[in-house]
Structure 1
């Protein structure tokens, strides 16, 4: 038996196979062996030859089973298919196991067992009575987790046993599969900046047809580029294959800031405030990608999800589905940070360009509220969803302290909303649009360049 994809001998050709088989004696096999030895000793003491024959047979039967099982020559090959390999928290994935007997002799009784983490459910076990020569068996089970993360599936184990149940021999496949459980996402109402029907901006574009041959700024050749775009003069100059840049419209940028500070949240589990913030960030990222924005996930540590676009933005040159998969993989394993402030994320935003900023923040003290307020200065629009951990744990509305933090953010130009336990992000999203519109009417300006629709 081997890892999925190639067969191997499960018994006789393994070094120490007989010794391993002896260690695999079942309780029944050990009982028969002990009874046989005891009967033989009693027969010797009492001088009973018939009892000696009985003891000899009792002890011989498990030894014969061990010998036969350890020299079994049939081969099996196994494989595992996981569908899908990435699921939202609370959804099920189907795991299909396939066992092939690639020898010319049928197998005996087999038990198939797959190792799965306890959070995915009970360990699946299947009994296969007999697999004919060249035969195949397929079994399936389902796994589900309410907690996001990456979970290994495997190794797959095959347990061989003799017809009398005297001995069991276990062999393991070597391959693993990984199930990625990503945060749950919710569809959000469509968002539109004034004068922009999608995430594509109206920035000036330079037409290559109007530029001279010497004005073209080439880039290195990438696999799949059209050879008709090769810029031969630059190729000769740089000594490597260069192509003309494609004319592309500018894409509006959106940064989603996720506060992961451990001190900013209380509680744990799928219904905690931190998990709500992670799920909210995932929903916002997917929504903005679908709207055509180039997005970036930024945490309080100052780290952003790597993307092909400038400044760590994903979706600028990637397909939206690929960008979403990259971001969701990151959010599947994001955890609390040990940092105490938001200064590192502020440093990243301070050096960037203007764009939409959506922040999911935990508890803020006066100092961190001031840091968050300064982030608004470099952003064309800013929305903050602030979670009050005390109110969340008690199922109550945000207190006076949380309302004061929201007021300070609003005075700095943020569209800031408090998030209480059980709040639905789509409703908050719409409420943010109304608040932004009211601020526009009252102050003549708006954090969303004219509001949301």
Structure 2
């Protein structure tokens, strides 16, 4: 939840020039008087006219009527100006990260922290046009200490990070004499992730996830740290006491717990501008980004330790980095995919350096159009990985030439498939698993 409580008088009056911090350059009180409506100005004019007539005609009762007409708008300005400074607002996103094409709810809460009821309130939240029209709400008077909550939905078909806010509040008194604006400073950020397609629970080796004995799937082994004993802690199982170290150290020592060895996978995303044509949510580049996000999400949920690299280098430290757990690393990579853009590179030669460290795990690549140099770079990567699957989302070359390049890439040991517009990644994922299983290689 994001609250906003600017200093008193922090809003700009209608038509006024906003100074630093959102205050009108003419001063908060003077700006408040500029918020008089036509009715309020008419009352003040009528009061002045009544006072003048009272002086000319010598009618003291008429002076009292004129004073009442002139003072009422002034009182409304003072009360509303004070109320404007004592109205708090907050915004909450549910959730703050959504895949493209999925709705998110924005909850607004307005609270009256004064001892007097507020007048009519009109809310308007600033929303980028990609998320839809600006929402507007009208709230009736709020009792002292009361609050009101409203909500609206936002949705974007295009990934990215979108700011929401600041919230604008318009207050009016019960008599319709004054209307004042208040703009809160706080805003929130909605992250729209790439489209994530559910993939079938198979490995590119033919087995279902969690079934079979893939040599690099999650297993429990005794690594180098496991044979190094540690000091005994209260509650440790006495069956794990390491007697040789205990006799050598002179204090009770126990064996360390066995640590799980997680299978690793590297996802390579080609971001070169020249490898793709077109734009928009259905472009080839967006299909590649969506595919990379789908595979990352799918393999992370299956227990894999995933890495994301591009043609320019690693996007973020992988889960093996100190202080970063697997779930946090996947979340950071998905956030990076939400805003990833084209790179100025022309070749995939740098991908070899970026993809190092896969430690024999599978390599899943999403690329644009491939030239002969790019195929050679991918062929060099094949020898350092387990299974190697390339999903090529080009569309700018003739189908015959594209198939020829895919065939050449398959000759280097890659399983290469064309990711055409409207093609289901789930079907291609199943096809890749079937082809690798038939070839008897690349079992995860």
Q: Distance in 2 between matches of 1:11 and 1:58?
A: 29
Give the deviation of 1:162 after TM superposition.
3.0
| Matching residue of 2:217 | 200
| Matching residue of 1:422 | 422
Higher relative contact order (CA 8 A, sep 6+): 2
Q: Is residue 8–residue 77 contact of structure 1 (8 Å, CA) maintained in 2?
A: no
Q: Distance in 2 between matches of 1:260 and 1:165?
A: 57
| Matching residue of 2:381 | 375
Q: Distance in 2 between matches of 1:265 and 1:141?
A: 36
Q: TM-score, normalised by structure 1?
A: 0.76
Q: Is residue 36–residue 56 contact of structure 1 (8 Å, CA) maintained in 2?
A: no
Per the alignment, do residues 380 and 208 of structure 1 end up closer, same or farther by CA in structure 2, a change over 3 Å counting?
A: closer
Give the deviation of 1:148 after TM superposition.
1.0
Give the deviation of 1:277 after TM superposition.
0.9
1:347 equivalenced with 2:346 (yes/no): no
| Matching residue of 1:394 | none
Q: Distance in 2 between matches of 1:151 and 1:339?
A: 27
Q: Distance in 2 between matches of 1:7 and 1:283?
A: 42
Q: Distance in 1 between matches of 2:161 and 2:136?
A: 22
Q: TM-score, normalised by structure 2?
A: 0.77
Counting matched residue pairs gives 402
Alignment of 1:383-394 (within 5 A): 383-390=389-396
Q: Which residue of 14, 32, 35 maps to 1:24?
A: 35
Q: Distance in 2 between matches of 1:328 and 1:196?
A: 29
1:289 equivalenced with 2:300 (yes/no): yes
Give the deviation of 1:124 after TM superposition.
1.2
| Matching residue of 1:101 | 112
Three-state SS of the structure 1 residue aligned to 2:299 is helix
Give the deviation of 1:167 after TM superposition.
3.2
Give the deviation of 1:24 after TM superposition.
3.1
Q: Distance in 2 between matches of 1:332 and 1:417?
A: 24
Q: Is residue 85–residue 93 contact of structure 1 (8 Å, CA) maintained in 2?
A: yes
Q: Name structure 2 gaps, 5 residues minimum.
A: 12-22, 238-253
| Matching residue of 2:325 | 318
Per the alignment, do residues 226 and 166 of structure 1 end up closer, same or farther by CA in structure 2, a change over 3 Å counting?
A: farther
Three-state SS of the structure 2 residue aligned to 1:324 is helix
Q: CA RMSD for the aligned pairs?
A: 4.0
Q: Is residue 10–residue 75 contact of structure 1 (8 Å, CA) maintained in 2?
A: no
Q: Distance in 1 between matches of 2:118 and 2:190?
A: 31
| Matching residue of 1:239 | none
CA displacement, residues 13-39 of structure 1 (integer Å, 9 cap, x when unaligned): x8922221134345x3697499879x9
Three-state SS of the structure 1 residue aligned to 2:267 is strand
| Matching residue of 2:169 | 158
